[in-house]
Amino acid sequence: MKLIASLLLAAALVAPALSNAAEPAAPVAKADLAKGEATYNAVCAACHGADGNSGSPAYPKLAQQHPDYLVKQLQEFKSGKRANAIMMGMAAGLSDADMKNVAAWVGSKTSAANFAKEKDLVVLGERIYRGGIADRQIAACAGCHTPTGAGIPSQYPRLAGQHADYAVAQLTAFRDGVRKNSIQMAGVAAKMNDREIKAVSDYIAGLR
């Protein structure tokens, strides 16, 4: 009888632990699009446009960008891992929830079509984007950002329709060691000259 009683007591002690272990994890809170829109309009719209399609080639288009990528960039501006005086100041006042809400809202907007402007360079740009430069071990952009420039959610950003001037600035910053938050992009850009950077950036602007 003592043995049975001991077994019953042990079972009673183990049961709650098993019950707790079986409980599902708390669901991750969904982004609040209404709050995201309000924060975006207050903090971001002046430079990036009312719907994420910035009118200035100096500021990136954010519409239709992958939300996880946008959150990562905002977090890295806030931490200083990605250096930009304007964006570091803007991100400083945003909480993780703010970033998630803003990224989800602007990511839900449609990116406006853009176009390539440099006819003399578009062939070179297409060749680099789609095939890279084999003899200098420059990888094709399409391998990570897809042939259409749609990117891969959570991993690689959407490039299609991005302002060429902005793309040139970022590739140059990666090449020159100014932008340090992507080892992969720094490695690719390090091997590119100004003409190649300009060509592929212009080609990207025309992707749809």
Give the CATH number for residue 183: 1.10.760.10
Q: Is the pLDDT of residue 193 over 90?
A: yes
Number of domains in the chain: 2
Q: Is the pLDDT of residue 56 over 90?
A: yes
Q: Which of 107, 140, 170 is the last residue of a domain?
A: 107
At residue 19, the pLDDT reads: 41
At residue 25, the pLDDT reads: 54
On whether residue 146 sits in a domain, the answer given is yes
Q: For 70-116, what is each residue's pLDDT tens digit?
A: 999 999 999 999 999 999 999 999 999 999 999 999 999 999 999 99
Q: Is the pLDDT of residue 24 over 60?
A: no
Give the mean model confidence (pLDDT) for residues 33-38: 98
At residue 44, the pLDDT reads: 98
Q: Clarify whether residues 89 and 48 are in a common domain.
A: yes
| Furthest CA-CA distance within the chain | 93
On whether residue 13 sits in a domain, the answer given is no
User: What's the token pair of residue 108?
Assistant: 């839900």
Query: Quick one: which H or E segment has residue 38?
Result: helix 33-43
At residue 86, the pLDDT reads: 96
Q: Is the pLDDT of residue 21 over 70?
A: no
The residue range of the domain holding 144 is 122-205
At residue 181, the pLDDT reads: 96
Question: Do 149 and 158 form a contact (C-beta atoms < 8 A)?
Answer: yes
pTM recorded for the entire structure: 0.85
3-class secondary structure, 61: coil
**What is the amino acid identity at position 65?**
Q
On whether residue 167 sits in a domain, the answer given is yes
Q: For 155-189, what is each residue's pLDDT tens digit?
A: 899 999 999 999 999 999 999 999 999 999 999 99
Q: Clarify whether residues 154 and 180 are in a common domain.
A: yes
With a pLDDT cut of 90, the percent of the chain lying above it is: 84
Q: How confident is the model at residue 23 (pLDDT cuts 50, 70, 90)?
A: low
Report how far residue 110's alpha carbon sits from residue 125's, in angstroms, rounded to the nearest whole number. Answer: 25
Dihedral sign computed on CA atoms, order 61, 48, 187, 67: negative
Report how far residue 53's alpha carbon sits from residue 78's, in angstroms, rounded to the nearest whole number. Answer: 23
Residue 156 pairs in a beta bridge with 152
Q: Is the pLDDT of residue 150 over 90?
A: yes
Which residues are CB-contacts of 75 (< 8 A; sequence separation ≥ 6)? 91, 96, 99
